[in-house]
Structure 1
Amino acid sequence: MSLVHTALADLDHEMANTRKMLERIPEAHLDFTPHEKSWPLRKLANHLTDFGMWGEVTITTSELDLAQPMPPHTIPTTAAGFVAVFDERLARFRKALATVTDEQLMETWTLRMGAHVIMAEPKLAVLRTTVISHMIHHRAQLTLYYRLLGVPVPGLYGPSADEQ
């Protein structure tokens, strides 16, 4: 099995789990934060929609300079809006990933802030850590928000306590 096929299988599983979480965004609680240092639920949910975009950027470029302005976008205000943005970005990511070769996945991708290099790793490693694992981390944070708000948590790796 090629690296691309392995990456696609992993991607599909984790992205489906993230989509389940976004489908349950409690629209009445978008400003909720569980702690003063935590992001509002709206910002956390919006960040979860970003990972398809970051995956596409990783595949289609050799670097990203965070010192450059990012394109503006509107933050959704409904669960359906978050899901729509997520689905659109995921479709572009999957399309890019499906066309890449194993050799291209081993090319170095660099994240920088101007002249300061934050990281430089093979694209495959970036996809696993900075895209997928990073998304899982924030998705886990969202499960805590849901628990505190009384929103049923979907099963992600088997049934959740709310599904039993």
Structure 2
Amino acid sequence: MILQYLTQEFEHEVSSTRKLLQAIPEKDLGYKPSDSSWTMGELAQHIATIYYWYVGTLTQDVYDMAADQLERGDTNDIKATLALFESNVEKARTALKALTEEKLQANWTMKLGEQVVLGPMPRGIVARGFLFNHIYHHRGEMIVYLRATGNKVPGMYGPTYEESRRT
């Protein structure tokens, strides 16, 4: 039952993430709000990359990020980031379809080489926190970046503030 809900949420939120990434103009990919922040292009690529992590999280009991390599492309090319996003969504969707309720309850661990970074903890908890909520967090940041650069934010849960203020 939980898996069914996660799958439905995944599909709905992929659409919202796609809208957000498509709203990013190439001209603003170098924008960053502070010295310690990512550029808009780096943040967009990170959001697209999280979908790749679904595979290691949902199909492996121990996911070693140091052993996993992903070609990401140029952070200053929004078309490349959108292509990365679409490719990673397909991989994530396949991993999600192979998941079972039983596997959601199994313990999962993330490592970076020999260092344990996260876990062990139930895979379902990791799916919510490390995957789903992680994307939502960074989408919120991207909304701030878009507004700070004077760009339109797409409505993801109904009209945006700007859209609702139209008369």
TM-score (norm 2): 0.89
**Residue type of the partner of 1:85?**
L
Amino acid at match of 1:94: R
Q: 1:163 to 1:134 in 2, by over 3 A?
A: same
Q: Mean Cα displacement is larger for which, 10-19 or 114-123?
A: 114-123
- 1:96-124 deviation line (CA, Å, top 9, x unaligned): 21122110111111112333322212111
Contact 2:73 2:81 in 1 (8 A): no
Shift of residue 70 of structure 1? Answer: 2.9
Partner of 1:45: 44
Q: Could you tell me which residue of structure 2 aligns to residue 161 of structure 1? A: 161
Distance (Å, rounded) in 2 between the aligned partners of 1:87 and 1:72 = 14
Structure 1 equivalent of residue 82 of structure 2: 83
| Structure 2: runs of 5+ lacking an equivalent | none
Which consecutive aligned stretches of 4+ in structure 1 deviate over 6 angstroms post-superposition?
none
Q: Secondary structure at the match of 1:35?
A: coil
Secondary structure at the counterpart of residue 110 of structure 1: strand
Structure 1 alignment gaps of length 5 or more: none
- Which range moved further: 105-114 or 35-44? 105-114
The answer on 1:140 being equivalent to 2:137 is no
Alignment match, 1:15: 14
Q: Which residue of 2 aligns with 1:62?
A: 61
Instruction: Deviation per CA, 1:78-112: give whole Å up to 9, x if none.
Output: 44332222111111111121122110111111112
What amino acid sits opposite 1:23 in the alignment? Q
Residues 24, 79 of structure 1: 8 Å contact kept: no
> Does the Cα contact within 8 Å between 1:64 and 1:111 map onto a contact in 2?
yes
Structure 1 stretch displaced more, 103-112 or 62-71: 62-71
Residue 67 of structure 1 and its aligned partner are, at CA, apart by 4.0
Q: Secondary structure in 2 aligned to 1:118?
A: strand
1:38 is displaced (CA, Å) by 0.8
1:101-154 deviation digits (Å, cap 9, x = unpaired)? 110111111112333322212111111100110111111000011011111011
Aligned residue pairs: how many? Answer: 163
SS at match of 1:64: strand
Distance change in 2, residues 1:57/1:75 (3 Å): farther
Identity of aligned residues (%): 31
TM (norm. structure 1) is 0.90
Q: Which amino acid aligns with 2:89?
A: L
Distance 1:100 1:163 in 2: 39
Counterpart of 2:130? 130
